[in-house]
């Protein structure tokens, strides 16, 4: 640029624009700004192309504020933005998922008399898709079509991608078929988008059919298409088919990349075909495909799952020597957690050595997974011993650690040890929420109550959830007097219930015979800003039926439907069984009709109860008329039963 400073070779605005645009293509719009500043100082003055290059560059890099600053500066200088300017701004906003702002820019654009073009709409379709708003993508596509703007192949591809991403494969195929019949002609990206949709949906037949069409039409598959096919077969364990595509890919001159190899290696590791996985790994190295953490991670996980920690450690050493970052602590903890759930706790603990080998240290979640594993296999000595290991590396046990240990002791009948540990918690002032459920499960209600009172007396913060848990336990164990006392304490605390606590308290009130108060609490739920769940309605309706308040139960069921809370199979079947047992056959028939309308089949216990009642009651002929027509088969069933 300096050599052009002499008068006979002075740079023109065209020269400056070329340089600014070069920085845009290099994704360094920040370096284009000094050139732009120099252009301003020359007195030549920037034009719309100068601004567009910078605005587009910053928009694509997600620096939308800088792009907008340039846009306002452009207007101040009296330079009129064009369709490229607006489209670049919209693209930047779509990339940052600021769709409301993108729509405002679109309206501003139209208001100035500039018509959006295909690129403008393409940005919006893609933006709505990545924001999870596929219906808005549909709206924009229709809006574009109705504006007498013919969608190009890029628009159709973006729209198909949006539909496929949200599982709308049929609609995407309709767009594709329309392209085949009316244009624009589908390209490799069109095929790739739909193939990926079929693959993600697990529709292998549709994927195979489309790929055959693609080949017949002479459209050459690219790496994305091959990777899609390989991944689809590999996910289903169809490795022979996956490898055939892999070989076909190479024959057609398309080189496998890191994604191709990662897919195949990962699948082999999942299938415990580690020799095949290592063979592909070596092939990858031989042809110079760069290695990354993900590929090593697949192999390390495979070796850990097999129990070969020596090879896993070798792989870690190898990747560290190549300067590749090791898998994160979350990766190793996930492996430990899976092994512990399978009861392979010793192997899980050995992986801690691998973590240390990578230069990292186990965290709280790692230790909690091991504690959980040892409790699962009943090795409480090792489980408790981990508390010392945690302390040695500066990791503080949390409430989950203690809860797991107490639960482990209870499940293995060691209640006294559980109580000792609990008191140790109080001594250490572990003040988070602690649940007494384990003691109830161990049929030690007295101990559970003792523990609960110790929590209160020690000054430990006892949450509303803990009170609700204890209340539920007292009701399950028929401790009605104490449940009543605890209810009174709860109400005197004047605390705000959440919906889970409300459900427990309502159930407890019915249990101790305080039906009217239960109804009042239910009526007050909305005043707490809460919305009743299906469980709330189930607790209320089933208890009302139990108390033979059938009209109240029916009214509440109607309210549930009107509120938009859809009754499920469980609540309907439970209502039907309770009504049948109460002799309310007509009402049961009413709810059977509801099941039929929803296309729900009666549960086996419901059908068995119907047959049982009609076959032993002796009054089935009278009752059968009260049931929907489709249940009249019971007459034949009972007749056959009586003949037998």
pLDDT score at 441: 43
Between 564 and 314, the more confident residue is: 314
| 180-209: pLDDT as tens digits | 999 899 999 999 999 999 999 889 999 999
| 133-181: pLDDT as tens digits | 888 988 999 898 888 888 999 999 999 999 998 889 999 999 999 999 9
pLDDT score at 146: 87
| Residue 487, pLDDT above cutoff 80 | no
- Token code pair at residue 300: 């390390």
Q: Can you list the alpha helix ranges (DSSP code H) found in 287-328?
A: 293-306, 309-321
pLDDT score at 18: 94
Cα(31)–Cα(122) distance, integer angstroms: 28
pLDDT score at 449: 65
Mean local confidence (pLDDT), 306-319: 91
- Token code pair at residue 135: 């219906």
pLDDT score at 495: 65
pLDDT score at 639: 46
pLDDT score at 529: 80
Q: Which of 520, 469, 528 is CA-nearest to residue 495?
A: 528
**Whole-Å CA distances, 93 to 82, 116, 385:** 17, 16, 54
Domain boundaries, the chain: 1-116
| 272-282: pLDDT as tens digits | 999 999 999 99
Q: Across all residues in the chain, what is the average pLDDT?
A: 86
pLDDT score at 319: 93
Q: Can you list the alpha helix ranges (DSSP code H) found in 428-549?
A: 437-441, 445-457, 464-476, 480-492, 499-511, 515-524, 534-546
**Superfamily classification of domain 1-116:** Tetratricopeptide repeat domain (1.25.40.10)
| 332-381: pLDDT as tens digits | 999 999 899 889 999 999 999 889 889 899 999 999 999 999 999 999 99
Q: Can you list the alpha helix ranges (DSSP code H) found in 115-203?
A: 118-130, 134-146, 153-165, 169-182, 188-200
Mean local confidence (pLDDT), 503-517: 85
pLDDT score at 412: 83
Three-class DSSP category at 173: helix
| 598-613: pLDDT as tens digits | 778 788 888 888 777 7
| Residue 432, pLDDT above cutoff 70 | no
Between 490 and 633, the more confident residue is: 490
Between 308 and 430, the more confident residue is: 308
pLDDT score at 430: 56
| 438-486: pLDDT as tens digits | 444 444 556 666 666 666 666 665 566 666 766 666 676 677 677 777 7
pLDDT score at 455: 66
Three-class DSSP category at 460: coil
pLDDT score at 124: 94
**How does 79-116 read in b/e, with b if 16+ C-beta sit within 10 Å?**
bebeebbbbbbbbbbbbeebbebbbebbeebeeeebeb
| 24-67: pLDDT as tens digits | 999 999 999 999 999 888 888 899 999 999 999 999 999 999 99
pLDDT score at 331: 93
**pLDDT confidence tier of residue 635, bands split at 50, 70 and 90:** low
pTM of the model: 0.62
Q: Which of 511, 555, 519, 516 is CA-nearest to residue 536?
A: 519
Cα(261)–Cα(265) distance, integer angstroms: 6
| Residue 8, pLDDT above cutoff 50 | yes
| Residue 302, pLDDT above cutoff 60 | yes
**Is residue 338 exposed (0-12), middle (13-18) or buried (19+ Cβ within 10 Å)?**
middle
Q: What percent of the chain has pLDDT over 70?
A: 85
Cα(614)–Cα(308) distance, integer angstroms: 63
């Amino acid at each position: 640029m300096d050599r052009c400073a002499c008068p006979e070779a002075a740079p023109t605005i065209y020269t400056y624009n070329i340089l600014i645009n070069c920085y845009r293509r290099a994704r360094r719009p920040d370096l284009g700004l000094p050139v732009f500043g120099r252009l301003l100082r020359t007195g030549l003055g920037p034009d719309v192309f100068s601004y567009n290059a910078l605005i587009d560059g910053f928009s694509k890099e997600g620096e939308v504020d800088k792009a907008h600053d340039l846009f306002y500066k452009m207007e101040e200088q009296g330079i009129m933005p064009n369709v490229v300017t607006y489209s670049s701004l919209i693209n930047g906003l779509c990339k940052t998922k600021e769709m409301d702002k993108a729509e405002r820019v679109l309206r501003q654009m139209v208001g100035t008399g500039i018509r959006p073009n295909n690129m403008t709409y393409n940005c919006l379709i893609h933006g709505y898709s990545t924001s999870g708003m596929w219906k808005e993508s549909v709206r924009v596509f229709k809006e574009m079509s109705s504006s007498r703007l013919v969608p190009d192949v890029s628009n159709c591809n973006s729209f198909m991608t949006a539909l496929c991403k949200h599982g709308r494969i049929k609609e995407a195929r309709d767009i594709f078929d329309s392209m085949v019949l009316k244009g624009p002609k589908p390209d490799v990206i069109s095929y790739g988008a739909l193939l990926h949709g079929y693959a993600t949906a697990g529709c292998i037949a549709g994927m195979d059919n489309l790929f055959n069409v693609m080949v017949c039409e002479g459209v050459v598959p690219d790496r994305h298409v091959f990777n899609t096919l390989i991944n689809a077969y590999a996910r289903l364990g169809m490795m022979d088919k996956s490898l055939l595509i892999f070989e076909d890919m190479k024959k057609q001159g398309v080189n496998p990349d890191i994604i191709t190899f990662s897919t195949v290696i990962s699948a082999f590791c999942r299938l415990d075909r580690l020799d095949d996985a290592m063979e592909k790994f070596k092939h990858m190295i031989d042809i110079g495909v760069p290695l990354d953490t993900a590929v090593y991670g697949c192999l390390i996980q495979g070796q850990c799952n097999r129990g070969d920690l020596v090879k896993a450690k070798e792989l870690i050493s190898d990747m560290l020597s190549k300067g590749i970052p090791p898998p994160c602590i979350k990766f190793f903890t996930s492996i430990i957690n899976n092994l512990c759930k399978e009861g392979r706790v010793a192997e899980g603990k050995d992986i801690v050595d691998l973590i240390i080998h990578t230069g990292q240290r186990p965290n709280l979640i790692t230790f909690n997974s091991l504690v959980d594993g040892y409790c699962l296999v009943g090795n409480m000595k090792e489980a408790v011993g981990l508390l010392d290991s945690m302390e040695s590396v500066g990791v503080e046990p949390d409430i989950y650690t203690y809860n797991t240990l107490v639960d482990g002791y209870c499940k293995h009948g060691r209640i006294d040890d559980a109580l000792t540990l609990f008191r140790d918690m109080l001594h250490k002032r572990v003040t988070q929420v602690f649940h007494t459920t384990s003691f109830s499960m161990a049929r030690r209600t007295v101990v559970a109550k003792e523990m609960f009172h110790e929590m209160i007396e020690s000054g430990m913060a006892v949450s509303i959830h803990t009170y609700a848990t204890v209340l539920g336990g007292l009701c399950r164990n028929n401790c009605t007097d104490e449940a009543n006392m605890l209810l009174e304490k709860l109400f005197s605390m004047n605390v705000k219930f959440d919906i889970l606590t409300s459900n427990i308290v309502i159930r407890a009130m019915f249990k101790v015979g305080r039906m009217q108060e239960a109804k009042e609490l239910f009526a007050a739920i909305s005043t707490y800003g809460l919305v009743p769940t299906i469980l709330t309605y189930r607790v209320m309706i089933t208890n009302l039926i139990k108390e033979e308040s059938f009209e109240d139960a029916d009214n509440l069921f109607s309210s549930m439907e009107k509120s938009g809370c859809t009754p499920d199979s469980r609540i309907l079947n439970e209502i039907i069984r309770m009504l049948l047992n109460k002799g309310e056959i007509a009402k049961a028939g009413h709810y059977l009709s509801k099941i039929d309308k929803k296309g729900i089949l009666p549960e086996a216990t419901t059908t068995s109860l119907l047959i049982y009642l009609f076959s032993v009651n002796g009054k089935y002929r009278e009752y059968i008329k009260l049931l929907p027509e489709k249940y009249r088969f019971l007459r034949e069933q009972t007749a056959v039963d009586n003949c037998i």
